[in-house]
Amino acid sequence: MPNTWKTSLNLLLKQLATEPRIAVVGIGNQYRSDDAAGILVARALNQHPSAADTDHLLIIEAGQAPENSTGEIRKFAPNLVLLIDAAEMGKEPGTVDWIPEEDIDGMSASTHSLPLSMLAHYLTLELGCKVMLLGIQAASNEVGETVSLDVLQAVDDVVIGLDELLRTCLSTPA
């Protein structure tokens, strides 16, 4: 089902506080082809209407060292952190899916300086927030700036889906 990530995120957003604070963290290396997916999502999401709500939404292009953004995330004090990254999930390139917390260590994260499981665990303990990882199946993480068409389409789908969900969630009156 192509929209399962949207459905589950929508349900989670409805369970958050009446004034949710959401940090979207785009992770990856723009010089390793499809590994740029998370960065591209963050960059594009910054151009959408939901990005205007700076009181309730923080969008970070974290690159390959997302742990360097923990101070900014901590200062924002979100109740939900969405990590977005290219991942090896054994699926068709461009597939978008949640990576369960217990599976984060098993995903390919060789381009990161710190395992994402450690970052997620730290944010959960330090901030008491929910941390979720949205993976985009890469076709290649080889050196080069060309992103595959499947991943570019997935990036567009994620940006549009997140923008719609965030605008709906953040515009709901308290």
- Residue 28 sits at φ, ψ, to 5 deg, of 145, -175
Residue 112 lies in a domain: yes
Q: Which residues of 38-71 are buried (b: 16+ CB within 10 A; e: fewer)?
A: bbbbbbbbbebebbeeeebbbbbbbbbebbebbe
Q: What is the C-alpha separation between 8 and 28, in angstroms, rounded?
A: 24
Q: What is the C-alpha separation between 33 and 29, in angstroms, rounded?
A: 8
Task: Strands of the chain (E only): list them.
Answer: 22-27, 57-63, 80-87, 96-99, 130-137
Q: pLDDT, tens digit, for every residue of 21-35?
A: 999 999 999 999 999
**Model pLDDT, residue 13:** 86
Q: What is the C-alpha separation between 152 and 40, in angstroms, rounded?
A: 9
What is the separation of C-alpha 121 from the centre of its chain, rounded to a whole number of angstroms?
A: 16
Q: List all residues 6 or more positions away from 122 whose beta carbon is below 8 Å from its beta carbon.
A: 67, 70
Residue 7 lies in a domain: no
Domain at 49, CATH number: 3.40.50.1450
Residue 13 lies in a domain: no
Joined tokens for residue 163: 């923008």
Q: What is the C-alpha separation between 116 and 84, in angstroms, rounded?
A: 11
Domain that holds residue 122: 22-170
Residue 37 lies in a domain: yes
Residue 120 lies in a domain: yes
Residue 49 lies in a domain: yes
**Model pLDDT, residue 41:** 97
Residue 72 lies in a domain: yes
Residue 5 lies in a domain: no
- How many domains would you assign to the chain? 1
Q: What is the pTM of this model?
A: 0.89
**Model pLDDT, residue 108:** 45
Q: Which residues of the chain have pLDDT under 70?
A: 1-3, 17, 105-113, 172-174
